[in-house]
Structure 1
Amino acid sequence: MNIHQLSIIYVVEEDRLLMRINGKDGGGELRAWLTRRLALALLPVLNHTTVEQMKKLAGPTTPPASLDEQRSQLLSAFQTEASLRGGDFETPYQEPTPQAGGVSTGPAPLLLTEAKLTLMGNGELRLQVFEKIPGQEAVRNFQLMMEAPLSHGLLQLLHQGLNAARWLDAPAAPATPEPAASPADAAELLATDLTKPKYLN
């Protein structure tokens, strides 16, 4: 799909985030629900992979020969990052019409149970999402290929949705303390290898 607009909003009645992707040139619309568990798991991985995506696009750096060259490199890196983060967050999301292809994912949004992030060799970030429900005849899914500006836009929208849902607020202390995770457990949970797809489920 050639992406025209992307939206993530918190729907109070569902207590979920609704992700909507509008395609260009009659590409229709893709819709998916993000649960709290999946959204919070996706956030750090998406944050990490967008940083790596920007590094890949920037290419290898060479030590500057002079202070002027160092300033030039820093200014160039700042301008590149600013352009990647400068998405349009003001234009209202356009509702799909039958003439524009309608809703491509069916009458109900996918209820995401798994997501996979892969940083491709060409610098694009591939996001694959799946709805795997027990007893369901077929797995519903779709994928997005995102260049760096779109990846940063998705990350910012996810942050905004999580803030609207207040899912990033510190939880109240439990009545009975839970055992703390060991450093090894935490390292295993957060470890990412960009040469392999990242699965979240």
Structure 2
Amino acid sequence: MNIHQVSVNYAPEQDRLLIRINGKEGGELRAWLTRRLALALLPVLNQSATAQMTKLAGPAAPAASLDEQRDQLLDTFQKEALLRTGDFKTPYEDRQGQPANAVLGPEPLLLTEVKVTLMSSGQLRLQMLEKLPGSDTVRNFQVMMDGQLTNGLLHLLHQSLNASQWLEPVAPANLTPAGSSEVPELAIEPAKPRYLN
């Protein structure tokens, strides 16, 4: 699939992130990303994006003069700047009625596993799998991403994680019993020490 657009949005009613990928040929791939998997994926994707940028920039050859060193630094800077640019202003084209892969079906995958592989070509391969207990079928798809797309996905993940507030400390919930306007007090007692003899 040649990727046209990627969208990552927090769905508060599901308390999940919805990843949507449009193909240039049409169709859409969709997958739910849970908090546990999103927080585990983020450092791996950050590390892989750094390795991908390093691979695409190429090895630094020893320079004979300061002018050549300056040229190499400028070249590396331009490559990194190119990788970090992305179009975040164009609205995502909604193609929910057109699954890119009929085998996957109309419902988004509930991701249970994501495999990230840096290929020798410099592209990053993401394999997204849904392995549900009690089900013999494994729904999955994979996408290949260049450096610009990888950095764009990271940017969208960070935005969605901020919107989800998953990275913030959890505040105690204020629970009110049905039919009551009173807010009950939550008494938290410190754990008493236990001694074993």
- TM-score higher than 0.5: yes
**Structure 1 residue 56, shift from structure 2 partner:** 0.9
Q: Which residue of 1 aligns with 2:194?
A: none
Contact 1:96-1:103 at 8 Å conserved across structures:
no
Q: Which residue of 2 aligns with 1:124?
A: 123
Distance 1:145 1:114 in 2: 17
**Structure 1 residue 115, shift from structure 2 partner:** 0.6
Contact 1:131-1:140 at 8 Å conserved across structures:
yes
1:168 aligns with 2:167: yes
Q: Which residue of 1 aligns with 2:85?
A: 86
Distance 2:152 2:50 in 1: 13
Q: Which residue of 2 aligns with 1:7?
A: 7
Distance 1:80 1:52 in 2: 14
Q: Which whole-Å deviations, capped at 9, do the CAs of 1:121-166 have from their partners, x for residues lacking one?
A: 1111100011111112301110001111111111111111111111
SS for the counterpart of 1:10 is strand
Distance 1:150 1:71 in 2: 28
Q: Aligned partner of 2:93: which letter?
A: Q
Q: Aligned partner of 2:5: which letter?
A: Q
Q: Which residue of 2 aligns with 1:135?
A: 134
% same residue = 64
- Closer/same/farther in 2, CA of residues 34 and 66 from structure 1, 3 Å limit: same
RMSD: 2.2
Distance 2:157 2:146 in 1: 17
SS for the counterpart of 1:152 is helix
Which has the greater radius of gyration?
2
Distance 1:176 1:126 in 2: 48
More helix by share: 1
Distance 2:40 2:96 in 1: 33
Distance 1:103 1:164 in 2: 28
Aligned length: 174
1:74 aligns with 2:73: yes
SS for the counterpart of 1:43 is helix
**Structure 1 residue 36, shift from structure 2 partner:** 0.5
Q: Which residue of 1 aligns with 2:25?
A: 25
Contact 1:117-1:127 at 8 Å conserved across structures:
yes
- Equivalences for 1:177-196 in 2 at 5 Å? none
Distance 2:85 2:66 in 1: 28
Q: Which residue of 1 aligns with 2:16?
A: 16
Q: Could you list the structure 1 runs, at least 4 aligned residues long, displaced by more than 4 angstroms after superposition.
A: none
Distance 2:37 2:13 in 1: 18
Contact 2:99-2:105 at 8 Å conserved across structures:
no
- Closer/same/farther in 2, CA of residues 133 and 117 from structure 1, 3 Å limit: same
TM-score by length of structure 1 reads 0.80
